[in-house]
């Protein structure tokens, strides 16, 4: 009798094993699809931020050039320089970064956003300098030097973002 019970429970056991294996495989497929969707979303988010940063950097270049010309005449461009957003990168970084096959891109983006953070701080320092030192006799000349240094940094970051835009193309 015991032999018959084992034989009759064998289809149940194999059905349970098959069901378990099928459930695990389905979970793996769902997880891979979800991760692929999240990565596509992250790349789209990064791409849109890179495009916005390129436009802002071009605007900053234009404003710095104008301000340097005006500084020669002891005039100044009134609007402050905009800061570059970094939220998309922070969001992607906090969500676990990019997939392993995009590790090189992730490393390059990490380095670029570090430079952007420093550039944002330099822009803020420039605005503080403008607000606090307008009474100096050499204010215009110093502002030209600050603008020239910032322009060099902006050009480097702009080149990096343009390269990233090519890498993030859909």
pLDDT tens-digit map of 65-121: 999 999 888 888 878 999 999 998 888 877 777 777 888 888 899 999 999 999 999
CA 76 centroid distance within chain: 32
pTM of the model: 0.79
Q: For residue 103, what are the contacts with CB-CB under 8 A and spacing of at least 6?
A: none
Compute φ and ψ for 85, nearest 5 degrees. -70, 150
Average per-residue pLDDT for the chain: 86
């Amino acid at each position: 009798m015991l032999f018959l019970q084992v034989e009759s429970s064998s289809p149940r056991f194999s059905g349970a094993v098959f069901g378990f294996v099928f459930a695990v495989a389905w979970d793996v497929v769902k997880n891979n699809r979800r991760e692929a969707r999240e990565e596509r979303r992250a790349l789209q988010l990064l791409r849109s931020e890179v495009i916005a940063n390129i436009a802002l950097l071009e605007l900053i270049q234009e404003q710095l050039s104008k301000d340097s010309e005006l500084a020669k005449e002891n005039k100044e461009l009134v609007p402050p320089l905009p800061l570059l957003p970094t939220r998309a990168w922070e969001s992607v970084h906090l969500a676990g970064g990019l997939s392993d096959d995009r590790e090189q891109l992730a490393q390059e983006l990490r380095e670029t956003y570090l430079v952007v953070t420093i550039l944002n701080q330099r822009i803020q320092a420039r605005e503080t300098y403008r607000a606090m030192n307008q009474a100096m006799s050499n204010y215009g000349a110093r502002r030209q030097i600050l603008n020239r240094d910032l322009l060099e940094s902006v050009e480097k970051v702009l080149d990096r973002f343009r390269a990233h835009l090519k890498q993030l193309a859909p």
